[in-house]
Structure 1
Amino acid sequence: MKSDLLLKYNVPTPRYTSYPPANYFHEGYTSNDYTEAVIASNQEHPDYISFYIHIPFCPRLCHYCGCNSYPMAKKDVVAAYVDAVKKEIMQVLPLLDKSRKISQIHYGGGTPTAIPLHYLKEINELLLSSFACIEHPEIAIECHPGYLNEKHWLQLLEAGFNRFSIGVQDFDTEVLQISNRTPSLLAVEEIFSILRSHNVKINMDFIYGLPKQTIEGFAQTIRKAATLNPDRLVTFSYAHVPWVNKNMLKLEEAGLPSAEDKSMMYRKTIDILTGCGYKPVGLDHFVQPDDALYVALQSGMLHRNFQGYCTRATTGQVYAFGVTAISQLSSAYCQNVRGIEEYIGIVNRGYLPVMRGYALNKEEQLAREVITALMCNNRMNWKELSEHIGLDVETIQTDISYDPSKLEEMKNDGIITYTPEEINITDDGMLYIRNVAAVFDPLMRNGASKRFSKPV
């Protein structure tokens, strides 16, 4: 039956790290639209502020990467880019209500740790000097351990980061080599020793579905990771989208694992990590039992943005800076231009570097709430959703054209259980949670044609 489910449901489906997904954004959305959305966001929920900074440079481009990344640039280009990021920040900050508080700052890429690290400290100081923070804000950075020595890790600590996502991807050097990924410069145990002495949180990131990976080989990687006892482990399913990154064709030529093997890697990971005491959160996170994400999951209060999972208690509207950075406001998304030179030029001329965006209508905003609840909490309770957004259940269901008959087949396949009060994803259905979410997606329901990766 499980192989039948894989054949049936392993079809291209949105990843739903946002709703609508980014490939629905359009270039008719302008910088004026974004300015108006930022001002309006001061009166919308959530109240807190989350900042995202995109650093696009990489010492070496990994073949599997679907992010907007560029080969490491010369010093003067990096300096000009950082200067432009600061200028963009200073264009947006005056539009924000100064009584609001920072809940999160997150750096992604590219490789944020590829540039001189004092730049990161300068950006943090600019943001943190402009607003108060909630108690225990998360200041997080994605780190490539292939290029960081002990001094570098200490510099990151000095810059104020309190959560480190270490991009290991796999401990098998053959897997890394074929993926064009540089192994860790320091032993991972040494990195943990440095960071643990400063009482910060540590994530470890892995990817399954790469060439040369086997079910047992990836299991060995996960077992080793578990012995280090990180606060969170994240296991991303490799998304093969060569129309985004042509280097992915090199991985295809090398031979990608089958969907069945990827499915077994995922299930083996669950068995290993739950056996070590970790709790699964969403599709790809495993956390300690006392982690805020798991506590939020238990109460149906887990949330997600482009940067990953967070609690509703700490999530903020996201104001993003840098090339292709995506701002996530209550009623709109906005993405910056892609090219580094173009970005620097626009910002230096005093304009916001908007490339495209999307304004959500009422139905889409409600659909986002339903999809987010399912994707984050593995269930969706109509009463809880009603209390969260302040609308009665009947109005919500009418406005999103809810049709429970569309769930009947999934119920019969053992993907979900549902009652008039609640929809739950089963253990067997976790791999196909994106398919369940798609039932509530008006854009998919209306036949919009976009390209997506497969769930497995």
Structure 2
Amino acid sequence: MSTIDLEKFSRYSRPGPRYTSYPTALEFSDAFSYERYLERLRSETGPLSLYVHLPFCRSACYFCGCNVVFTSKEEKLSEYVDYLKREIELLADQIDTSREVIQFHFGGGTPTYYKAFELDEIMKHIKKHFPNWSEEAEISVEIDPRFFNEDQMKVFKSHGFNRISFGVQDFDPKVQQEIHRIQPYETTKAAVELARKYGIESINTDLIYGLPYQTLESFQNTLRLARSLDPDRLAVFNYAHVPWLKKTMRKFDETTIPSPEVKLQILQYTIDYLTSEGYEMIGMDHFAKPEDELFGAIAKGELHRNFQGYTTKGGANLIGIGLTSIGEGQRYYAQNTKDMKAYEAAIDAGRLPYERGVELSDDDVLRKSVIMELMANFSVDIPRVEKEFGIDFADYFADALEKLEEFEEADLLSITPEAIRVHPTGTLLIRNIAMPFDAYMNKYEGQKKSFSKTV
């Protein structure tokens, strides 16, 4: 990648979505009713992707933007397992359970905060009610190396888990102390070696740049240490500083957070270093070895993006299970309640713990297709879009194409009647490039407390 103009690029730093969904979660509301949600669940066909949220953590990591519940009480964890099992039973009454499960993911919180027998109990209950699993299913879990043991690993192996993502964030002791997550390199190394011992075929490590006290030099060392673990994939996320949403982020002295220029230096170095080490950039924040299926998918233009990140399992109906989980159907998003008492009360009443969502219009479906293709494959096949949706692309998206002219003039992308193609340096601004296609962005213009910064 050519050296970027840091000053020019930093001017693009503005609030913008990460586009794990379109429309974004800011558009979710109770206008998409519970009854309508059930109709959608019953009517959809095709493969299933199941996501189970285990929200508990022992203590707060101050950078975290996830929906978590902090507790040291084991009875709270076991009570939640009972409610999860009842929610699974309620879902099984609404969904054709003969549909094939092609993807499964445990997210958190800290899934491995649970004991091995509890994880086993959850998996057995899911498989009892959703018994048709593809032999090629992607079965994954997020793991905090500080809470991981061999008994848990044996459970994952017995249930066919084939992908593990280890949360690292940063190896620098000063950064770890500031973000309230002390995790020595040796702890992470032991966790990765345990997963390798049990034959896990795909290991991912998560890093975050833009955290307090990070410098280019400190992150270079973090990258070298992460590389020494030989992960099959690395996710390198831009820290989303949203203190108006997450109180723990208010603990940071904002003067210690790297400037946009430093963050761009870190990102450019990350791309150059990992590609020199044999990884390929996948989407806006993932890197994979060339033999990885994600790389094969992007080469064919078949990479997909959803709430679980980048995947080859496109077209599946994502069912969110557990507190605050989000599901994605062909023409809707649906989110469970974030409040534990409301979650339990709904299930006690024999109702799914659904709270809000959005039903997609024809325009939403079209724009989602374009935005997700940009986010996943850094390009848009214009004739494909025109054929699939029966539109004239240049006419329908005239305003978006006009906004993209500045990126074309800066040689960050090219536009022809055949395609929009984002150039390598333009991929650093892929969120900015996708935003002109977002019909909802105008209402957030000028609002500082809407999204995290794009740079």
Please give the range of the TM-score, normalised by the shorter of the 2 chains. Answer: over 0.9
Partner of 2:40: 37
Q: Which runs of 5+ in 1 are unaligned?
A: none
Contact 1:147 1:185 in 2 (8 A): no
* Bigger Cα displacement from structure 2, 295-304 vs 396-405: 396-405
Tell me the SS of whatever aligns to 2:40.
helix
* Bigger Cα displacement from structure 2, 159-168 vs 209-218: 159-168
Tell me the SS of whatever aligns to 2:213.
coil
* Bigger Cα displacement from structure 2, 434-443 vs 400-409: 400-409
Counterpart check, 1:428 vs 2:425: yes
Contact 1:26 1:358 in 2 (8 A): yes
1:61-76 alignment, distance < 5 Å: 61-76=60-75
Whole-Å Cα distance in 2 between the matches of residues 72 and 141 of structure 1?
A: 21
Whole-Å Cα distance in 1 between the matches of residues 418 and 211 of structure 2?
A: 40
Partner of 2:359: 359
Contact 2:171 2:185 in 1 (8 A): no
What is the letter of the counterpart of residue 134 of structure 1?
S
Counterpart check, 1:22 vs 2:22: no
Whole-Å Cα distance in 2 between the matches of residues 12 and 419 of structure 1?
A: 28
How far does the alpha carbon of each residue in 1:84-110 deviate from its partner, in whole angstroms, 9 at most, with x for none?
A: 111111111232224421011111111
Residue of structure 1 aligned with 2:389, choices 369, 388, 391: 391
1:258-407 alignment, distance < 5 Å: 258-312=259-313, 315-385=315-385, 390-392=388-390, 394=392, 403-407=400-404
Partner of 1:10: 13
Whole-Å Cα distance in 2 between the matches of residues 347 and 425 of structure 1?
A: 46
Contact 2:6 2:265 in 1 (8 A): no
How far does the alpha carbon of each residue in 1:155-186 deviate from its partner, in whole angstroms, 9 at most, with x for none?
A: 43334422110001111122111101131595
What is the letter of the counterpart of residue 411 of structure 1?
E
Counterpart check, 1:114 vs 2:119: no
1:202-213 alignment, distance < 5 Å: 202-213=203-214
Per the normalisation by structure 1, the TM-score is 0.93
Whole-Å Cα distance in 2 between the matches of residues 290 and 155 of structure 1?
A: 27
Deviation at 1:23, TM superposition (A): 1.4
Structure 1 pair 94–17 and aligned structure 2 pair: CA distance change class (3 A): same
Deviation at 1:73, TM superposition (A): 4.8
Deviation at 1:7, TM superposition (A): 3.6
Structure 1 pair 238–447 and aligned structure 2 pair: CA distance change class (3 A): closer
Number of residue equivalences: 448
Contact 2:10 2:260 in 1 (8 A): no
What is the letter of the counterpart of residue 322 of structure 1?
G
Structure 1 pair 297–95 and aligned structure 2 pair: CA distance change class (3 A): same
Whole-Å Cα distance in 2 between the matches of residues 184 and 344 of structure 1?
A: 37
Whole-Å Cα distance in 2 between the matches of residues 330 and 397 of structure 1?
A: 26
Tell me the SS of whatever aligns to 1:229.
coil
Deviation at 1:204, TM superposition (A): 0.4
Contact 1:5 1:413 in 2 (8 A): no
Tell me the SS of whatever aligns to 1:76.
helix
Whole-Å Cα distance in 2 between the matches of residues 118 and 138 of structure 1?
A: 22
Residue of structure 2 aligned with 1:438, choices 435, 438, 448: 435
Deviation at 1:132, TM superposition (A): 1.5
Contact 1:210 1:251 in 2 (8 A): no
Whole-Å Cα distance in 2 between the matches of residues 417 and 66 of structure 1?
A: 34
Contact 1:39 1:95 in 2 (8 A): yes
Counterpart check, 1:191 vs 2:188: no
CA RMSD of aligned residues (A): 2.1
Partner of 2:149: 149
Tell me the SS of whatever aligns to 1:27.
coil
Q: Which runs of 5+ in 2 are unaligned?
A: none
Deviation at 1:323, TM superposition (A): 1.1
Structure 1 pair 153–72 and aligned structure 2 pair: CA distance change class (3 A): farther
How far does the alpha carbon of each residue in 1:126-176 deviate from its partner, in whole angstroms, 9 at most, with x for none?
A: 223323122311111110111223444334333442211000111112211
What is the letter of the counterpart of residue 361 of structure 2?
N
What is the letter of the counterpart of residue 410 of structure 2?
D
Deviation at 1:254, TM superposition (A): 6.5
Whole-Å Cα distance in 1 between the matches of residues 124 and 382 of structure 2?
A: 42
Contact 2:317 2:328 in 1 (8 A): yes
Whole-Å Cα distance in 1 between the matches of residues 265 and 95 of structure 2?
A: 47
Per the normalisation by structure 2, the TM-score is 0.93
Partner of 1:245: 246
Contact 1:332 1:358 in 2 (8 A): yes
* Bigger Cα displacement from structure 2, 314-323 vs 411-420: 314-323
What is the letter of the counterpart of residue 61 of structure 2?
C
Deviation at 1:446, TM superposition (A): 6.3
Structure 1 pair 65–447 and aligned structure 2 pair: CA distance change class (3 A): closer
Partner of 1:164: 164
Deviation at 1:393, TM superposition (A): 5.1
How far does the alpha carbon of each residue in 1:214-239 deviate from its partner, in whole angstroms, 9 at most, with x for none?
A: 10111111112112211100011100
Deviation at 1:252, TM superposition (A): 3.1
Partner of 2:49: 50
Whole-Å Cα distance in 2 between the matches of residues 91 and 82 of structure 1?
A: 14
Partner of 1:60: 59
Tell me the SS of whatever aligns to 1:182.
coil
Structure 1 pair 177–403 and aligned structure 2 pair: CA distance change class (3 A): closer
Contact 2:119 2:155 in 1 (8 A): no
What is the letter of the counterpart of residue 371 of structure 2?
I
Contact 2:53 2:106 in 1 (8 A): yes
Structure 1 pair 147–264 and aligned structure 2 pair: CA distance change class (3 A): same
Deviation at 1:288, TM superposition (A): 0.7
Structure 1 pair 398–446 and aligned structure 2 pair: CA distance change class (3 A): farther
Deviation at 1:124, TM superposition (A): 1.9
Counterpart check, 1:135 vs 2:132: no
